[in-house]
Structure 1
């Protein structure tokens, strides 16, 4: 199994998979908008501010075409993971200076009240899973969330 943890966290996502934005700031705006459409208790602006403030500290573009934007928010109770694809690639100030295609977005509780999955554990699992070439290449060409989940399962 590529990653049961990632598969289980992404399974509830009902946001559109593909990103249309062409630059880093617009990607963060689009991600914020899409998540706010399904998370009615979160405003687009608060997601955008959280992700942007984190991005200003250091880029969340990792390498191998992967970016992991993340933030902690007051209104989040349990850690949430969203997956988005940018088939055209986005310059995201990645460590390897290559465009990012695969976006794993982590929203975690600012003040967790019960045991929760830490964003560091999720980031480690993303990095470990994305080192598997066949998984990464298949994800880049996925056509649906169901296909993404199958890839992470297999």
Structure 2
């Protein structure tokens, strides 16, 4: 069975109407990518999303707070200056994953770097987490409290770009490593991040960022604009 699915194939797979699925796509409720004006889905990522809808595994305090209190995912709360790398040095997939895992470990976001690296590479072997347009969203196939201490996003920038087996064949320059110990939180992060990255103007902005503060301000402003306080 193909690993990349069309809108109609996913609708059939999930037993939904195409209209309902398209609405979910536009609302950023399911991970997908737009390639040549057509929506495409990764079967493993759809399976991850579906499994997460059926499982609730809250772990630490922040995960429980997000699951209980937030109907949306405020990404600015999950991004710290120390977890942003503006110039990744690696020239291949394994090196990028190792660099991102090293940042996570140094910031005490994970408990075991070697295990995280191994599982991230296994996930990429299954199918690339690159979604096209120079973006990849590395993540574990299944969130684990045995590895991850709290939900966070590690951002990495590769000025030259890396071959990350992107579906559009282009080098990947922006990496968003999702760390979560909860299926619910993981899926909320993935869906919200995918929705933001689908906006071309946002991609243009990020490709021109020259400082960590640029990334922090972007996500803070996005939260303010889309989720204003009552």
Instruction: Pick the TM interval, shorter chain.
Output: 0.7 to 0.9
Partner Cα separation in structure 1 for residue 85 and residue 157 of structure 2: 6
Q: Which runs of 5+ in 1 are unaligned?
A: none
Does the alignment pair 1:135 with 2:202? yes
Tell me the TM-score normalised to structure 2 length: 0.57
Aligned CA distance change for structure 1 residues 144 and 70 (closer, same or farther; 3 Å): same
After superposition, residues 68-107 of structure 1 pair within 5 angstroms as: 68-71=137-140, 72-73=143-144, 74-107=146-179
Q: Could you state the TM-score of these two structures normalised by the residue count of structure 1? A: 0.83
Runs of 4+ in 1 over 6 A off after TM superposition: none
* Aligned partners of 2:105 and 2:111 also within 8 Å: yes
Question: As a proportion of its length, which structure holds more helix?
Answer: 2
Aligned with 1:14: secondary structure?
helix
Contact 1:87 1:141 in 2 (8 A): no
- Superposed CA deviations along residues 117-150 of structure 1, whole A, max 9, x for unmatched, are 5222212212211122221112122122211021
Aligned length: 146
> Residue 45 in 1 paired to residue 114 in 2?
yes
| Alpha carbons 1:67, 1:104 under 8 Å: kept | yes
Cα deviation digits, residues 37-70 of structure 1 (max 9, x gap): 1117623212211211211111101111110000
Structural RMSD (CA): 2.2
**Aligned equivalents of 1:81, 1:68: Cα separation in 2:** 10
The structure whose Rg is larger is 2
